[in-house]
Homo-oligomer: A and B are copies of this chain.
Amino acid sequence: MTDAATNMRLKLPITCFILEIILIILFGALVQYDHETDAKEWHNTNHSSHSDYDNDFYYRYPSFQDVHVMIFIGFGFLMTFLQRYGFSSVGFNFLIAAFALQWATLMQGFFHGMHGGKIHIGVESMINADFCTGSVLISFGALLGKTSPVQLLIMAMFEVTLFAVNEFIVLSVLEAKDAGGSMTIHTFGAYFGLVVTRVLYRPNLDKSKHRNSSVYHSDLFAMIGTLYLWMFWPSFNSAITAHGDDQHRTAMNTYYSLAACTLSSYGMSALTAHDGKLDMVHIQNAALAGGVAVGTAGEMMLTPFGSMIVGFLAGIISVLGFKYLSPILEDKLKIQDTCGVHNLHGMPGILGAIVGAIVAALATVDIYGDGLADVFPNVANGNVEASYQGVRQIISLAVTLGIALLGGLIVGFILKLPIFGAPPDTICFEDSIYWEVPGEEAAHDDQLTTVRTEEVEKLNC
């Protein structure tokens, strides 16, 4: 089942070793502990005095761990729904995430973590690195089953870089707000991945069609991923907001958005099925759209009421996307989106960006009080009008879409080079091309044999 082209014996080790050695060298040259992780700096009494309990570790690390679980278990298992691609789903997710978080530390550090020529890192940079990694994993979802691990590592390298550029423009130049990454993470990752999969279009993919579906237990494994994403999304959206009420409010808004989204997803799933039966694809994915859609506005005074409306709409849009839009994208636009990231991250991401722009434009001192400085510092100090902040948010969405689409186009063509060991159209969605795969059934000593033998004897008499 393996031929020379897809053999990873040299390609994968060379890629892994070169990338990791480059990372180690750059870390050695550029990266330092920040003042919260450095023994000397933290204990430097010339700084304002502080207790060990004031260390930001205690106020960010639980959120970081929740995000970390989303990245490795959440995304990893969400993609195990395919019947013969579980090893690759979890395993390639693991590999590219482990690479991307290191590379993201450097790329994000270049753009917003430099202090005297060095990149300073701590728990907040770890969260940001995981966030950036999430974006790469979203793109992976669009490509699932159709790429080699080497292609994925190369994609991760470029995508992380472009993510950092876009993030810098959106957050630092345009000064938009996007704590949960509706734009920077979800919209960016989805459209980048969709363009890449378009460029890598496989006209004969239907030859692997029989493997591009789930089996009973693979859908249960996928639900592990879904639920961890769902449960920890409040931590994701609130992980890097300002401390205090901001973090608290963001988590709560996300909680209610997701709950409302779940009800609309179930309702829509039954409604759009030909015989009223729920579709696992909708439950595994659409029920999460509520988290994406409050990624920008979650930290604002969206209210639980507003969050629920947004979540409710996100669930409806997402199911409709799976049911009606995905087939069109595949047939007409030749976009083979394995996991339907357009429905889970693409459209809900855009919805989230628009909601964020509207809520930002409506911000007033009357609503936020002195808390306005935390959420919209530029509005609070009079630099800009709230309405103009809303415009900035929309421009940020446009910039994000532009960089994602253009970047995906270029990276897609790079990945098309025939040197990365991509699988042939006939053996997509198949673990055994890159993994040693054991059998499906256990050795049953004699039990099954007995049954078979009896059956045979019965037949023979």
Contacts and interface: CB of A to CB of B under 8 A. Distances in A.
Given A252-B126, A303-B33, A371-B39, A277 B45 contact: no
A268 B248 CA distance: 44
A412 to B, nearest CB: 24
Contacts of A59: 53, 58
A258 interface: yes
A36 interface: yes
A190 interface: no
Given A2-B277, A95-B263, 20 more contacts: A7-B276, A9-B276, A11-B276, A20-B308, A31-B305, A38-B245, A39-B246, A55-B248, A56-B248, A58-B59, A65-B232, A72-B230, A121-B252, A216-B437, A217-B440, A277-B432, A278-B434, A278-B435, A455-B456, A456-B458
Given A243-B55, A248-B37, A436 B277 contact: yes
A256 B275 CA distance: 50
Interface in A115-150: 121-123, 126, 149
A172 interface: no
A68 B267 CA distance: 23
A264 B17 contact: yes
Given A255-B126, A263-B98, A278-B435, A440 B249 contact: no
A101 to B, nearest CB: 6
A203 interface: no
Contacts of A244: 42, 51-53, 55, 57
Interface residues of A, number: 155
A112 interface: no
A371 B42 contact: yes
B40 A439 contact: no
Contacts of A13: 267-268, 270-271
A231 B76 CA distance: 13
B227 A72 contact: yes
Contacts of A77: 224
Given A267-B16, A368-B39, A98 B258 contact: yes
Given A13-B271, A278-B8, A36 B248 contact: yes
A442 to B, nearest CB: 4
A192 interface: no
Contacts of A283: 91, 94
Contact of A275 (B2, B19, B213): B2
A23 B439 contact: no
A29 to B, nearest CB: 8
Contacts of A312: 20, 24
Interface string A426-461: 000010101111111111110000001001101110
A370 B44 contact: yes
A269 B435 CA distance: 10
Contacts of A220: 80, 86-87, 90, 221
Contact of A36 (B8, B39, B245, B278): B245
Contacts of A84: 442-443
A44 B247 CA distance: 17
B98 A242 contact: no
